[in-house]
Structure 1
Amino acid sequence: MPNMGRKLRVGMVGGGGPANFFGGPHRRGILIDNSAELTAGALRSNPDDAIASARDLFFTRGYGDWRSMIAEEAKRDDGIDYVTIVTPNDAHFGPAVAAAEAGMGVLCEKPLVMNLDEARTLHQAVKTAGVPFVVAYTYTAFPMVMMARHMVADGKVGEVRKVEAWYPQGWLAGSRESTADAAGQKQASWRVDPSKSGASGCGGDIGTHAYEFVRFVAGLTATRVRARLKTFVPGRALDDDFTVLADLDNGGVATIAASQVTIGAQNDNGFRVVGTEGTLEWSITDHNNLKYYRAGEPVHVYRLGGMYNYFPSTITPFIRVPEGHPEGFHEAMANLHRCLEWQIRAKLGEQVPDHMHLPGIADGVAGMAFLDAAVRSGRQDGEWVDVEPVG
């Protein structure tokens, strides 16, 4: 690994409250490789709480809001290099645009923003500023998912006929947003609130993860969709179950199924890529293994490990342990940050490893275009709807 000039300085927006799950994994992901530090935080919506939370979490500097953080950090010689955004969906757009315009890199949680118009505006701001941008489609950052992408691109499955992608959960099978469990209630309430989450609940929260498997692994994009967005829990404003049939730009098809009312399911996401020469299959429940099927042959299992010579050089920089040792969710988070960090360091003129690029701003916009089409189809009782092309 090349020597780096200094640790990168990272700012964070959101992620400081007791009910915000993703702040912790992102902070641990930032620190895993000892090449970045927690420098500035605007971690909560209440200014006093935001500053106190930054202090309690050992950020070098705390701010009452993201506007003051980005403005003040942009003036400093030792200001932050990039911003991590881990707020509810309605608070992604503002800090992402401001950070890009200030010349800072951005790592933003998904879905990218609230709607396709915001996505296009943000995309233009990022292109104009020329800053690195990564979207936190975390499961694409598992090394075996990267390996699947490499194998599809290398022709191991032949021409892709079908992609099946799924993401079931069960935590919203009841009206959790109305429970006395404060942390769980807050996590649930914004996800089912259109003013915080956008036009889709389950689809925006986890259906976009499943769709990114189609794009990242198979390298394909939906051209039109038929969608069924269901709300099973009475009184809930947004969908808690999301099922989509999609035509793909190579003539193939995809099924994208997500649910938050599947009792017993615990973030059991995965995919199957079916081609003319073989099939690849991966699941988070067996995330250190990738299954490869060919007609008339026993199943081939590719296993995670830094000593295996079948990994290409673009993936090995993301593997931290030798064979037999597991990696997981926090390492995937670290890979998102590592990918953004290397893009920033390259712009600073430093030597960085040749590496696979994880989803960026264009992928986030494509996810919003897919979600927009699915919502429109759902409102038309599942009629075919074209997915708007994105630049």
Structure 2
Amino acid sequence: MGRKLRVGMVGGGGPANFFGGPHRRGILIDNSAELTAGALRSNPEEAIASAKELHFTRGYGDWQTMIAEESKRDDGIDYVTIVTPNDAHFGPAEAAAKAGMGVLCEKPLVMNLDEARRLHQAVKASGVPFVVAYTYTAFPMVMMARAMVADGKVGEVRKVEAWYPQGWLAINREGTADAAGQKQASWRVDPTKSGASGCGGDIGTHAYEFVRFVAGLTATKVQARLKTFVPGRALDDDFTVLAELNNGGIATITASQVTIGAQNDNGFRIVGTQGTLEWSITDHNNLKYYRGGEPVQIYRLGGMYTYFPSTITPFIRVPEGHPEGFHEALANLHRCLEWQIRAKLGEDAPEHMHLPGIADGVAGMAFIEAAVKSGQQDGAWVDVEPVE
């Protein structure tokens, strides 16, 4: 391959920020990209200081300046990573796309479906590669499940069960004296920062993406219950949805931030006419495959196993028996975007499974909008707007 790709980051530099660090490590894992430009905090002076502290080549006071200046340079950035709260996704994502830069954006994509559709149009018009950070789709065994469903291993999908419980917001953490916990909690339960759904937007969209990415299906209508259990909280902290799917099947999508004891215990079960696939983050190196009347088959992660399709093997870094996890999954998201950019530059890039893109981000917003409407209507069925 050619030179290292140059990456710009928006957000992720404050002391209470969580996702900036994992994304930076993910970018650097394969030594094929570098941290070039950063607009890492909302205060311009702090943003520049943070970029220097974190060893970015160039620091900027705001993302507008970063994108404008980098687009003029011969050695400007190739793509932008956005790791801000939801209300600060749309602006830099649209500007980067219009400037011809690739984008890797945290989820949910933006604040609402209208913004999502506008961003989708900008990305389609520019033709830039775009990846949405549905991180768990980038675990190799989740990719393996997608390949097996596409290969007919479970037959026709009848039902998808997808879940994502957490317990960290079972108390009013946004009102505590713990600065880091307070900041991470407060924006997630603030409608002006998070959007119309708290738990649903933050982690329910991860569960729904299992329906789309693994099963290859999408919700056409939903019946939802959004609950706020912690007094005084403005957004939901528990999210339960029953969905009808475009093939006539059904899905249950559940998420919770008040399930004490759960620590990002997300996973899925794909139920078909010929078999079932099951995966969980708590056992993320194994994929279970059930067929009627036969012993369960367990597919294990490892670069030496020959059952992985060639579109997945480029994402596997270690021999069998060694765990790959969260940082590697983030690195896979960045590599997916990198390979798309290199292909556009005319370089050789491996054939690989494409991870969730702009259409998946828009679909996530359409799902959330329908779920919120259903919840407001006491669980009535609400159609999910289709994504072009």
RMSD (Å) for aligned C-alpha atoms: 0.3
SS of residue paired to 2:71: helix
Normalised to the residue count of structure 2, the TM-score between the two structures is 1.00
Pick the aligned partner of 2:295 from 289, 294, 298. 298
Are 2:58 and 1:67 equivalent residues in the alignment? no
The equivalent residue for 1:225 is 222
Extract unaligned runs of 5+ from structure 1. Answer: none
Q: Can you list the C-alpha shifts for 1:321-340, whole angstroms capped at 9, x where unaligned?
A: 11111100000000000000
Are 2:97 and 1:116 equivalent residues in the alignment? no
The equivalent residue for 1:288 is 285
SS of residue paired to 1:246: strand
Are 2:32 and 1:32 equivalent residues in the alignment? no
Quick one: distance in 1 between partners of 2:40 and 2:64?
12
SS of residue paired to 1:184: helix
1:19 positional shift: 1.2
The equivalent residue for 2:5 is 8
Quick one: distance in 2 between partners of 1:127 and 1:103?
11
The equivalent residue for 2:333 is 336
1:274 positional shift: 0.2
Are 2:235 and 1:238 equivalent residues in the alignment? yes
Matching of residues 8-157 of structure 1 within 5 Å? 8-157=5-154
Quick one: distance in 1 between partners of 2:311 and 2:144?
10
SS of residue paired to 2:214: helix
Are 2:345 and 1:348 equivalent residues in the alignment? yes
Pick the aligned partner of 1:313 from 310, 313, 316. 310
Pick the aligned partner of 1:180 from 160, 177, 180. 177
Are 2:355 and 1:376 equivalent residues in the alignment? no
Paired letter, 1:342: W
Q: Can you list the C-alpha shifts for 1:145-185, whole angstroms capped at 9, x where unaligned?
A: 00000000000000000000000000000000000000000
1:390 positional shift: 1.3
1:115 positional shift: 0.1
The equivalent residue for 1:262 is 259
1:13 positional shift: 0.1
Q: Can you list the C-alpha shifts for 1:89-127, whole angstroms capped at 9, x where unaligned?
A: 000000000000000000000000000000000000000
Are 2:313 and 1:323 equivalent residues in the alignment? no
Quick one: distance in 1 between partners of 2:280 and 2:32?
30
1:232 positional shift: 0.2
Quick one: distance in 1 between partners of 2:135 and 2:217?
19
Are 2:207 and 1:201 equivalent residues in the alignment? no
SS of residue paired to 1:75: coil
Identity of aligned residues (%): 90
Are 2:167 and 1:192 equivalent residues in the alignment? no
SS of residue paired to 1:297: coil
Extract unaligned runs of 5+ from structure 2. Answer: none
1:385 positional shift: 0.1
Quick one: distance in 1 between partners of 2:288 and 2:387?
33
Quick one: distance in 1 between partners of 2:66 and 2:378?
45
Quick one: distance in 1 between partners of 2:304 and 2:4?
28
Quick one: distance in 2 between partners of 1:8 and 1:117?
32
